[in-house]
Amino acid sequence: MSRVGEAGKREAGVRSDCWISVELRDAGGIAIALKSKVRALYGEAIEAQLRDGCRVLGVAHASITVEDAGALPYVLAARLEAAVRRAGHQPAAPLLPQARSGLKEAGERGRLRRSRLYLPGNEPRFFPNAGLHGPDGLILDLEDSVAPSEKDAARVLVRNALRTIDFCGAERMVRINQGLQGLGDLEWVVPHGVQLVLIPKVEDPRQVAEVDERITALSRTGEGCAEVFLMPIIESALGAWRAYEIAKASPNVVGLAIGLEDYTADIGAQRTTAGTESFWARAQVLNGARAAGVQPIDTVFSDVGDEAGLRASVLEAKSLGFIGKGCIHPRQVAVVHDAFAPTADEIDKAVRIVRAYEDAEARGLGVVSLGTKMIDAPVVKRALATVALAVRMGRLESGGGE
């Protein structure tokens, strides 16, 4: 059996990552050969961290080679642990970075989820600053953005990132893999502060239930958040067909999202800009989500250079009733938030309706009217929602428009 394991990256152009090779030995202690871009500044700190890491992992004798391009400590730790595991050593204990404070605080069920920013789970250089761009949710992705051969290394890295990185108020999300691999992912993230798990390619409510059960079992250890929310992603004809059942599969489901790349392939259509081919599925997911009382969330907009296209796409999603959109680049976040916000006209109109409603209530009138027009109850309800949303998004000082 091989006793050598390597993990990380060392191609030209790699930044903020490292490559570590571990060769387990029977004697001789820990020998470290370090090549680092930051050697003059952190060389000693890196060696000390590696030695301490070996002690925690229960590795007494090994030859370790490191090529470092400015990896942060939590990345070094993740690459060391992954290399040790790949060398065939079962760690005495995982090499956990110290957890940030507030890691056990659960998310808020009905929070704004306008933007969710996908970060490839094996690309640590994107992690530390992603939250600064202000997305409502940050997704550390273990699924499509991670090569099959790197799934194990990404798990360690994502776990360490959850414990270390300041998400700046963004919901801490992870997209797990499909099926058994996805269930296996959960033990790497649930005890480490994940607040919401995205489940890909759901076409059966049982998939959601299985994830939910596994999370409940893991939560009993007392680590991690008291509540972990779920967001199933519908990416197939069958999934769309069962949207409502899927949204109702667990009380922890807070949103239902649609992913159109796989969906259009599944129904045998080409994805077009107009999106006629996916209209039914989007409407189905939207209605399934609303019927189940969870948030309907639209697909990603993948042309990062097309700001006008993104804005139009969000306005279209908003007009259908969606409340969120997927982002694959931080610069999309502000555009998405701006486009989902009620416009000045919408806010103005809503405020006048709410005022009329409050006035009618104060005077004990059964009928609300604005000028000569009668206002129906659903219109009042929508106006109240618009005012509440405008306040939450900082577009209006206080509710009621006083």
Residue 158 and residue 121 in contact, taking contact as beta carbons nearer than 8 Å: yes
Q: Is 302 in the site for another protein (CB under 8 A)?
A: no
CA distances from 398 to 18, 111, 338, 352, 392 (A): 49, 18, 19, 14, 9
Between 28 and 309, CB nearer to another protein:
309
Q: Rounded distance, CA 381 to CA 366, Å?
A: 15
Interface map 141-180 toward another protein (x if CB under 8 A): -----------------------x-x--------------
Q: Provide the minimum distance between the beta carbon of 108 and another protein in the complex, in angstroms, as a whole number.
A: 22
Q: Provide the minimum distance between the beta carbon of 309 and another protein in the complex, in angstroms, as a whole number.
A: 17
Q: Is 71 in the site for another protein (CB under 8 A)?
A: yes
Q: Rounded distance, CA 115 to CA 91, Å?
A: 38
What the block records as the tokens of 25 is: 């030995």
Between 170 and 202, CB nearer to another protein:
170
Q: Is 329 in the site for another protein (CB under 8 A)?
A: yes
Q: Provide the minimum distance between the beta carbon of 103 and another protein in the complex, in angstroms, as a whole number.
A: 15
With a CB cutoff of 8 Å and minimum separation 6, the contacts of 362 are none
Between 25 and 37, CB nearer to another protein:
37
What the block records as the tokens of 14 is: 């790699």
Between 129 and 221, CB nearer to another protein:
129
What residue type is assigned to position 9 of the chain?
A: K
Among residue numbers 104 through 133, which ones bind another protein (CB under 8 A)? 128-129, 132-133
Task: Please identify which residue in 3, 15, 104, 381 interacts with another protein, judged by CB under 8 A.
Answer: 15
Q: Is 194 helix (H, G, I), strand (E, B) or coil?
A: coil
Q: Is 261 in the site for another protein (CB under 8 A)?
A: no
From the list 192-200, 249-257, 329-337, 379-387, the region that binds another protein by CB under 8 A is 329-337
Q: Provide the minimum distance between the beta carbon of 133 and another protein in the complex, in angstroms, as a whole number.
A: 6
Helix (H) or strand (E) holding 377: helix 377-392
Between 57 and 117, CB nearer to another protein:
117
Q: Provide the minimum distance between the beta carbon of 302 and another protein in the complex, in angstroms, as a whole number.
A: 16
Q: Rounded distance, CA 371 to CA 199, Å?
A: 49
Q: Rounded distance, CA 356 to CA 236, Å?
A: 45
Q: Which residue has the tokens 């948030």?
A: 295
Among residue numbers 18 through 57, which ones bind another protein (CB under 8 A)? 37-38, 40-45, 49
Q: Is 344 in the site for another protein (CB under 8 A)?
A: no
Q: Rounded distance, CA 303 to CA 365, Å?
A: 52
What residue type is assigned to position 211 of the chain?
A: V
Q: Provide the minimum distance between the beta carbon of 132 and another protein in the complex, in angstroms, as a whole number.
A: 5
With a CB cutoff of 8 Å and minimum separation 6, the contacts of 272 are none
Note the residues at the interface with another protein (CB under 8 A).
15-16, 37-38, 40-45, 49, 69-73, 128-129, 132-133, 164, 166, 329-331
